[in-house]
Structure 1
């Protein structure tokens, strides 16, 4: 009965012995190929310039900068502006880059190669209060010729520095222009509101809320004045009625009787001194407006007009003329008082209308004042921002704000950064036995053999009774001896190759020997 045979360690050793030549050649070939690749790949040199992100020179507590963006963001924006198609083509033409590519590469291919050759790496550190912050960044360029790498790296560093200054200055200038335009707009709006407010106050000057107390006081004063004028008006009307009675009495010659009717004593003295004495006596008892006082005063005036002569029939005409004159004066006074009353009524009505209109005027005034205050606050805010933008612009122009400073210019590279020949050779040392073993296993899978008694029993399904060992002939022994010599030579060649690799890519053999001896001393 057949059973699946599992290969033993002896079988693997037998395979290695049978395929020793193939294994050796495969290892040597793979290793030789890796060495050739490591040696023949052209070196790539890298020149690097370091740019420091320097903080604002003037204390932010005194002057605040306007361009407060993160350094990473700003560096990325500048990188995109520097690595435009126009700039890269100009650098390619200036330094004749990728000339060895000939016409096989288009402009787009060269630009892609150029961008892949440029490396921008930020350098960050921990800043107390800010966390992780970018303090510098490297700008590098890779090329097969070290002098070209240095020149192009210098060009790129210069572009970064100039673009940063240009960008910050343009941004500060644009901010200042924008804020100035907005301030002018708000200023015009504020002036318009001030004109509207002035016109409103001028139109409603008599109904402004701040004059409300004054108008109430003037209304009270007008009412008091109206009452006084009304009282005088009524007194004047009473006097007119009295004068009319007196005129009637004078016309009929019954002055004394008329006076008696009004309550005046009929036995008044007729001479001037006696009348004056009576007038003085009456003043001690009554006021000037009392009828008796008025009557005595009029007789005194009449006697003084006639030269102090005793009244008689000749005085009738004089009394009539005098009374008529006084009636005319009284009528004029009544008309004047009536006109004053009308004016006072009109004035009081005007005050009342203004007092009633005050709430509506106040509502409109409050709206205008609110709009004016809001516009003024916005205007003052934008003016303050404009002043800050102008200061920021001055800082940028004088290079006193946050800036990029060339910390270390690109130098001539002394060693290539690519390829890493040590890694290539080390990779070859790993791939050589792995590749040779894989090749042998592949051949064994394609052309399998029966090796040993166990394999034969597995194939036949029967037990082997006798096994006759293989007897080598003289020719086979000579062939084996020859192969052994070849294997020794191959091993020596391999060792020589390893020594050459160590000498070229790692360390000179004499230094390596000295170091090794130093460890054992």
Structure 2
């Protein structure tokens, strides 16, 4: 059997058959809608307009420490103002929601207060001076509050606007102050680190005072001069030794003593040659010393001969200017020999002095060579210390410069020369209710009421329907009935129908009462629910 398709006439028949199920709920709901629309309390809205003014002093001269966007700061301020403690201060100050405060928890009161607040941004197209591009920017924002009392709405909105202005100034000043304190603390840390590094450098210099890298050129210069002096002295020693050797050779040919005949004496005696032999032996010793060491046998033999000859010379010196045993001759020192001997002795003393000087110079060169070698070893550690000191000093100077900029920015914020919020439209006492829209609510109630009645009639038809009417019989049987006999309703039928309807209504009322009681005790207090329901309806 094909599915039955209802036509418009069928639906009209259903409505006629169940006209009471359509009319009674519709009339009741329409009356309730009108009553609700009329009895709903009016909600008034008071709002203020706050302008976001840019910094008075150019950013090129003084840069602010607050770099976040305006809408971001507004949202942060809003969250700070909307804390539970601050909300409850405003609620108690203006005695908001007195009935609800007696029964509802604080969280619900705070939530209701937050729902009544609105912060909306006012945006406009602005041109970025740096890039030249056009973008959307927040230039102002509105702060509003809704309440049943227009006076309370204005007072709370005014307090909220004041909170935004004060909180913005406080946040900006606090941000600048925190930035300054942070930079100052960091700079002080680096200052202590620099002092510690400087102490380490001072200790390092004390420990390696003669091997520091900056003394390398000085040490090299002294070493070079000492080597030059050493070479010069060595040449002088060779020259003096050569001179002494030459003088000794000359002394060989000169008799150190002169023998004079006493008047009346005979011929002269031969001149003594011990001193001459001594000079010859010393010259030979000097010649061999250049080739052999002191331990050589020839050198040792010459040293023994020199000792013997020196004794002979001393013995001869004792007999100077004394007459001989026969009294005919006297001996005196040869002045030429004495002069040459003095030159030889002076040369030998100078050679000895230069040799002692060379020993000191050699020791000095060794000392400075050790310093130079140690300088290369010290240089790496010293460079690490100085590099660390320079880096910390540079960072310290940067932090101090930033600290000065932060202090300027702090003064900028404390004197309200930076970006600021300016109230250009203060909240006023509203003269017209913002919500609810009573006409709109009533029209919606009428539409919903009629729809509910029609839906109830269709539901009853689906639950208790059957084959009704001439057309349905014809569609089902495929043939038209011969006679249509209308339904004959007796008094008993009417009474039975009335009792059935009463039972349904009583059962519905009892069920509704049980549901309301269960909701009240297990879900939510009815007074709180009614208040929230009115709030939601007023927002429509």
| 2:249 equivalent to 1:250 | no
Q: Identify the residue that residue 54 of structure 2 maps to in structure 1.
A: 55
Change (3 A) 1:115 1:345: same
State the SS of the aligned residue for 2:55. coil
Q: Identify the residue that residue 378 of structure 1 maps to in structure 2.
A: 395
Change (3 A) 1:251 1:407: farther
Could you tell me which runs of 5 or more consecutive residues in structure 1 were left unpaired when the two chains were aligned: 264-311, 472-521
Root mean square deviation, CA, Å: 3.6
Equivalent residues of 1:46, 1:141 under 8 A apart:
yes
Task: Out of 12-21 and 155-164, give the one that drifted further.
Answer: 12-21
Length-normalised TM-score, structure 2:
0.69
Change (3 A) 1:446 1:334: closer
Whole-angstrom CA distance in 2 between matches of 1:111 and 1:24: 43
Q: Identify the residue that residue 122 of structure 1 maps to in structure 2.
A: 121
Equivalent residues of 2:201, 2:385 under 8 A apart:
yes
Pick from 162, 165, 169 the counterpart of residue 169 of structure 2. Answer: 165
Equivalent residues of 1:44, 1:416 under 8 A apart:
yes
Task: Out of 459-468 and 349-358, give the one that drifted further.
Answer: 459-468
Change (3 A) 1:334 1:8: closer
Kindly provide the CA deviation profile for residues 242-277 of structure 1, in whole angstroms up to 9, marking residues without a partner as x: 566777841576699999x999xxxxxxxxxxxxxx
Equivalent residues of 1:3, 1:458 under 8 A apart:
no
| Alpha-carbon distance, 1:439 to partner | 2.6
- Tell me: higher relative CO, structure 1 or 2? Use CA pairs within 8 A at least 6 residues apart: 1
Q: Identify the residue that residue 84 of structure 1 maps to in structure 2.
A: 83
| 2:399 equivalent to 1:393 | no
State the SS of the aligned residue for 2:333. helix
Whole-angstrom CA distance in 2 between matches of 1:470 and 1:317: 190
| Alpha-carbon distance, 1:28 to partner | 3.4
| Alpha-carbon distance, 1:48 to partner | 1.1
| 2:465 equivalent to 1:448 | yes
Q: Identify the residue that residue 30 of structure 1 maps to in structure 2.
A: 29
Kindly provide the CA deviation profile for residues 407-465 of structure 1, in whole angstroms up to 9, marking residues without a partner as x: 32111112222222232122123223212222322333344365432323456776522
Whole-angstrom CA distance in 2 between matches of 1:106 and 1:466: 71
Length-normalised TM-score, structure 1:
0.71
Equivalent residues of 1:11, 1:451 under 8 A apart:
no
State the SS of the aligned residue for 2:52. strand
| 2:450 equivalent to 1:433 | yes
How many correspondences in the alignment? 423
Kindly provide the CA deviation profile for residues 94-115 of structure 1, in whole angstroms up to 9, marking residues without a partner as x: 1111113352223333222222
Whole-angstrom CA distance in 1 between matches of 2:356 and 2:162: 95
| 2:184 equivalent to 1:180 | yes
Whole-angstrom CA distance in 2 between matches of 1:384 and 1:169: 20
Task: Out of 315-324 and 58-67, give the one that drifted further.
Answer: 315-324
Q: Identify the residue that residue 290 of structure 2 maps to in structure 1.
A: none
Equivalent residues of 1:245, 1:258 under 8 A apart:
no
Whole-angstrom CA distance in 2 between matches of 1:4 and 1:227: 134
Equivalent residues of 2:101, 2:109 under 8 A apart:
no
Could you tell me which runs of 5 or more consecutive residues in structure 2 were left unpaired when the two chains were aligned: 128-132, 260-270, 281-328, 489-540
